[in-house]
Chains A and B, each alone.
Chain A
C-alpha cells in the first residue's frame, strides 16, 4: 500500500489549491481512485538515480517590437470587458 493514504479531506485540500470545486460524490470517487493511482505511481521508487545529460540550452529571441494581437482581437473572446479592459471578479 501507498505510504501516502488519500482521504476525502486531502482531495478537498488539493481541489482548493487547484481552484476546482468538487461535489461530495466527486470527492469520494476521487479519493478511492487516487489511492489506487498513487499506489501505482509508487513504483517510481525503484527507479535508479540517473545522470541526465545536460545538453539543454536556453534559446532567447532578440528583444524587438513585433506585431501582436490588436486590443480588439485580444478582447474578442472575453465574456465581459469594459473600456478596452478585461472585466473580472473582485480579488479580495
Chain B
C-alpha cells in the first residue's frame, strides 16, 4: 500500500500496455519512453535482400522452454504449483486467493483494505517488528488486491539462514493478522488521499467509469479501491470476517519458484497452508452479461487531451474462443506498432501517442477494451476512425497474411514469457487460480498454430457487436461520431504548417 508520489515517472511505458521493468539501485533515472510494442503485421516490403539475416532467422526453430511444473494439494486443500530453479540463490512465493473486490458485497474497498492491512500486525508483533523482521534479512513482502484475486508475495534469499526465519515470520503475518485499529485508521486515510489524487488526472477516472458502465449490477462494477463514501464505513470486524472467509487454505493457490528442493517446497507449502484459516473455496459468481445497446458516458474535465475507452463485456476465463480472440486482437490492437489501430491512428495520422486494444479474461467475465488519448481538437476524428476500424475488423476478421504474421510473432516470442523467475511465478499464479492444465502454455501454443482466419472472425462476432459498444470519455467536451477523413496524406501539410509556426 503506497501512494505514488514519484512524479519522475517518465520511466514507465505508455498507458496502453504498461509494463514496468527493472529499477534497481542504479536505475533510478528519469527517462522518457516511446511506446513501441510487440507487434505483428502484414505489408512488409523492405528493400530486396534486407535484412540479410531474415532467411536464417525465419528458418530457425525458436526455443520454447517447457516449464517443469510440479503440483500437489496441501492437507488443508490449498493447491500448490512449484518450479525448481537453482540458478539464483533466491525463492519467490506467491499466494493467490479468490479474495478480490468481486467479494466486496455492498462494502466497496473491503477486499482492498483487508489486503493492505496484512503486514500491519500479528499476534505478538507490531508493524515495526514485522517490517524489520523482513528487511533485516533482505526479504521483500507485499500484498495487493484485484477484482478476482487477493495476492500476497514474498521474495527471499534461499539460504536457510535467511529463508527459515523469513518463512517463520511470513506464516505469522498471513496466518494471524491482528488488524489493529490504529493501522485501519491510518490506511483508510492513505487510501482516501489516494482517491483524491486520482481526481487530479484523467486516466483513473475514465477507467473507473468504464468498468462501472460495463458492469453495473455485477460485482466487477464495484470500485476496487473503494470510494470516499464507502471507505469511512468499513469496520475492523468486517476485515476479520473477510479474511476468515476468503484467505482460507481451501481458497488459496501457493505458487513457488526458486532454489529449494521438492521436499523443502512441500514443507514450506505445508507450513503456509497450516497457518491460514481453515475453509473452502469461495462460491462461483454469476457470469456478467454484455450491454445490449450502445451506452455513452462522459466526464467533463479541463484536460488538454480527451481520453476515450470503447468496449463491452465480451469474454471470461475458460471461453473456448480465448485463443482466437487473443490472436485476432494481436492484429487489431494488441500487437503494438504493427497492429491496425497503431498503424492507422498513430503512424498515419499522428492523433495519439498510444492506442491499444485487449480482452482481459477474468473468472466471471472480462471486457474487450480499446483505449487512447488524443488532443481535444482531434477527439471526434480519432473516435470515429477507431470505431470504424473496430467495426471493420469484427466484420472481416484478419487476412491470412495478417494471421500468419501474428502467429509467427506469438510463437517466436514464447520463450520471453518464462525467462525470469518473476515471469514464471506470474504464470504459475494464473494457472493455479484459473484451474488451467499444467501444460497450459504448450496447449496454448498448439492452439495458436491451429487457429484459422475464419475461426477468428466468427469468434469476434460472437464476442462483440459494434452497435453495442460502450463509449466512455473524459475531457472538456464529449466527442462526437463524425464522417472519417479519408486521406492522411492531405493532412500532412497542415500538420507541418502548424508545427512549423510553433502554434502549440
| Pair from one complex | no
Which residue numbers of A lie inside 8 Å of B, CB to CB? Answer: none
